[in-house]
Structure 1
């Protein structure tokens, strides 16, 4: 069993003024959260900063930043019970835990601690999924890992992260999402979604998804999120990686029954989807997505357009080309996680 060692560092949480460079075209229609806490956590693969957008304030949407453990970061998660951010940093292939996040937001002079940090296992991590104290890392294929995609399962404890299991898959990984004991995984460079039932029951070695389906109309998918409460799957389409204007978002409602009625190797048709795309959307390379079950907002990490943005859309149930309700410049935006209480 490999253990990622514990180190304790300090980093400063910097409060910024309420952002003034967002679009408010749909301001009157947008159902803003009525929560005491409603925050979007954003990783960057260029800036070395974590951005936290606060949607709970009635005075406007606020922003704060905290230094990341590396300039190139990806998957991100907020643990409300521990008041911690968990982040994957590709700069040194590490998992990192930042503590006292909400407390730091309430006090501009308070530091947030980078409590756990270490490397071990993966060499090309992309996304993380968290279930209780278990952290799953999706690794993309690169020369350094023999072009082998893998899923690493770590247990977080007071001393760091202990590697519990390593699973290899025969396709390139990107986004992942765990719901209960079911893991949903993006099949990179395709329009496919892989589903692993009873994921944690697997033993080390090569594993095969219980079902793999194609999403009709998708060019190349990267990000995904699933809402069990709304039985809703949201997927991103980056289109051509070289283009900053051909991205899209897909919503699949009644996802459980839609997936169940689609055979392994089958296709979820465009009739079972709602899709937005086009010049108004500002979608080019949407690499990650989050969803609010309360306000029905959809949050996107857009990597290509303008060097990185966070785009926010109202829920949609039909195809279209809407403008985002809000948008912010966030350099290198690579991953998003939304939390509301």
Structure 2
């Protein structure tokens, strides 16, 4: 059998795999409705770990301090900062009585490890329900705490939220960052709603103290430099204990990186944690990425070779149509609809960058979280 014919069959299988993901998995998120419980006044501890974040805290912390919620404390963790972070935290604590300060000094065994600082913050929190975000994050609503925590029930002890990035006009990098964030969110929401939760993002994540201590905290991956959010969720989340919230009032938005180098280094740290996921999750995510990569590579090869071009064109259009339709509806749900027109271009660039990151992470390990 000629090689090009073999590649044609592989291409058709790849398109079929992609169709299964779009129609069998992503539709779980696209057609789901945000469900809330009546438990909207649970005592909550909002936990923020800050390392050299003085300016961001000045900008974004007021939006958390002024949340419309009757019973919450804010645990501010100063992770051995070398700037004025501690001074800023102390100034806010003087202004707001519900702020608790945890001042962390690094020790040799856990030098540069965010998980160590977070563990001290969690232990200091007085409430059972914990809500996490970052120092450069801003809730999209004064009802953020209420929206996130309304999903806690007797059965649901892990709540996954959406943490987007602010928009920058006329910036392709910004669109690429937001596209990657969109796709990641659609993946973890869709898998969770399919009964296979595998990650969450620390910019907008909630779980109970009981879940944390029952899992012995971060001990199983304490030596992994990142993953305080996704690896912990991968460890403890199940179909029964995990809830998703994607109402606009539950969103947070963060400052995106402004240079390709800074974003690339950030993604290297994030991607390095995936090798520690559960085997099924690693298999499905690898299948998804490989099918994405092969779709574009084989499409180019087969179009150039002009073999059975009608079949290739039909399969190509089918897959792009599914992307525009399903991912387009998801992007509207997560308020990222300005990306829709250039989905294929963004996907193509993202696949190349992810491949480069994968190769680089094999050759050298990424550095500490800050």
TM-score, normalised to structure 2, is 0.24
Q: Which has the larger radius of gyration?
A: 2
Between Structure 1 and Structure 2, the one with more helix by share is 2
Which gives a bigger RCO, structure 1 or 2 (Cα 8 Å, sep 6+)? 2
- TM-score w.r.t. structure 1 length? 0.26
